[in-house]
Each structure stands twice: as structure tokens, then as C-alpha cells.
Structure 1
Amino acid sequence: MAKAKPKSKPAISAAGTPAIDIGIDAGDRKKIADGLSAFLADSYTLYLKTHNFHWNVTGPMFNSLHLMFMEQYNEEWTALDEIAERIRALGFKAPGSYAEYARLSTVVEQAGRDAPEWMEMVRQLVAGNEAVCRTARKALQLADKAGDDPSVDLLTQRLQVHEKNAWMLRSLLE
């Protein structure tokens, strides 16, 4: 009869909780969490911009864009939680302030209360969705290299959404 292999005891943190041991070393988890934090910042900034444009769109495309923007920002809002929770599952704090998002984001904010005309809103949202895609791809490469399949899956799904949003918005300008 073969002897059962003794189970190793998990390392204990200074706080007395078991150390994270999910099969991804701490350095790789940190790199992935940093990439996801930048992705969260871009996603949140795009969410806020989309919501702003939903409130402030005017002109002949009002109804169509008002509804499209609402559909997009609602979907984006739900995704924010998933991204932040993935960062937490990797053992790091998720960024959660405007200052952190401004520092980390590559999406350009729409400053002030003077909303652009609808075509410029659409152009900016195309650019914002594509910026989110670029940031997602950087984080995805880190996650893939480390064998972090849950992060790869999350980022792949988000890429599909943002690429589709960019395409649909761009189609309005053609």
C-alpha cells in the first residue's frame, strides 16, 4: 500500500492568515494585478465618459445614442466589479479613487460641462474603447505568460465587448 504524501502546511502571513498559494508566484501576481489595475482605471474612465455622454447627447441622433450609451455604460459598470474582484483574488488592493484612475488611465477624460456634439462624442468613445483594448492586451500577455487562466478569460471577454463597441460606434461615423 502506497503511503499518502504528507500535505505541506500553507505559509502564514504576519496577520495570521494563510499566504496566497494559487500556483502563480507573488511577483507574477503583482505584475498581473498592476496590469489589471491599469485596465480597471481605463474601464472606469470609459464608463464615466460614456455615462456623461448619455446624459448630455443632443441632436438628430439623440434617441439612438442615448439608448446605445446607456446599454454600454450599464455593461461597463457590471464589468468593473469583476475586474476589481480579480485583482483582489490575486492578493492586491484594487484602485478605487479618481486620483488613482487619473494616474493609471490612458483614456482621455472629457473635461468641463461643455459637451461636444454627438459625432465628437462617438469619436471619443471609439478612441476610449480602443484604448481599453490596448491596455487589456498588455495585461492579457502578462496573465498568459504566468498561466493565469481566469485573468486571461476575463480580459478576453472584455476585449470582445470593447472591440464590438468600437466597431458599432465607428459605423455611425461612416
Structure 2
Amino acid sequence: METTKTEIGIKKENRKAVVEMLKQILADEHVLYIKTRNAHWNIEGIDFHSKHVFLEEQYNKLETVIDEVAERIRMLGFYAPGTMKQFLETSQLNEEGPEQNNTKGFFSILLEDHDTIIKFIRKNISENAEERNDDGTADFIIALMQKHEQMAWMMRATLKTF
């Protein structure tokens, strides 16, 4: 739903299409945030402390991303979804946890989710810039993709020891 008339040089139908893509990202970010919190709370093993701290850093980054995505939706003149029901209905991620509450179990699942988000964003970059005349959102999601690439790299590097 559009909030107010927003005249920013992008046609309403293009803004609406961009917002639908951003809603997908917002839903995925929320599910990943909850799964990262779960890992932070429940991880076990000899590396507990370092991974507990690492996961806290990760979910804090995701919390910032969530706010930025919701605000981008508002900048484009639409309301951001805000319920878990909406997020679960929209997200391409699932809520499944690991078989074991250790680094390998949690990081494998979280890494897969980061990779899913990275692929989705990469697929939408040129569509937003070229087809929808929204270079601002294209730049915005490129920065999001880079954040996820960094988080995924750190998890991938950690998993190399298993």
C-alpha cells in the first residue's frame, strides 16, 4: 500500500515492483536474524565463547540491515511489512535449525541462507537500475549484498576447519 504521493522521478509501478523485491529481502533478513539469534543462544562446544560473540556481531549487523531495508521501502512511498506472519509468508528461507547445536551445524545453515540472499540480490541489481530507473535501490542492494558476502565468507572460512 502506498503511503503518500511520492514524486521522486520513478514511476509508481516501478516503485511498487522495487518495493516487492525489497519486501522479499526484508522477510529473508528477519528470518536470518532470528536464526542467527537462535544460534547465538544455543551454540555449544569447545569454541562456544568465540562463536557466541561472533554470532552477536552478526545479528547486530542484521538488525541494522533490517532497519535500512524497511526505511528504503518507506523512502519509496510504501509501508514496510512488520509481522512475523508476513515475513514467514514472504521469505524464501526456512526456519529449520541444525541437527546439532555446534559451529558446523549452525554455520552450515546460516551460510546457506546468506548465499540464498546474495543470489537473490545479485539477480535483482540490474533490473532495479536499468528496467525500473532506480539506481538508488540498485546501489543500496549492492551494499547489502557486500555485507552478506562478508558474513558468508567468515562462516565459510570457519567451516573449512571441519
**1:127 and 2:141 aligned:** no
**1:141 and 2:156 aligned:** no
Percent pairwise identity: 36
**2:31 corresponding residue in structure 1:** 45
**1:12 corresponding residue in structure 2:** none
TM-score (norm 2): 0.89
Amino acid at match of 1:45: V
Alignment of structure 1 residues 54-133 onto 2, 5 Å? 54-110=40-96, 116-133=101-118
Which deviates more from structure 2 when the two are superposed, residues 45-54 or residues 146-155? 146-155
Amino acid at match of 1:87: I
Shift of 1:115: 6.1
Partners in 2 of 1:69 and 1:115 — Cα distance? 16
Contact 2:35 2:97 in 1 (8 A): no
Amino acid at match of 2:101: P
Bigger proportion of residues as helix? 2
Per-residue CA deviations over 1:86-132 (Å, capped at 9, x if unaligned) read 111111111111111111111221359x8633211010110011111
Could you list the structure 1 runs, at least 4 aligned residues long, displaced by more than 4 angstroms after superposition.
none
Contact 2:40 2:52 in 1 (8 A): yes
Contact 2:97 2:106 in 1 (8 A): no
Q: Which has the larger radius of gyration?
A: 1
**1:8 corresponding residue in structure 2:** none
The Cα RMSD (Å) is 1.9
Partners in 1 of 2:26 and 2:100 — Cα distance? 24
**1:150 and 2:136 aligned:** yes
Structure 1: segments with no counterpart, 5+ residues: 1-14
Contact 1:53 1:115 in 2 (8 A): no
Contact 1:42 1:131 in 2 (8 A): no
Length, aligned pairs only: 157
Amino acid at match of 1:122: F
Partners in 2 of 1:84 and 1:135 — Cα distance? 17
TM-score (norm 1): 0.83
SS at match of 1:71: helix
Partners in 2 of 1:90 and 1:115 — Cα distance? 42
CA 1:138 to 1:99, structure 2 compared with 1: closer, same or farther past 3 Å?
farther
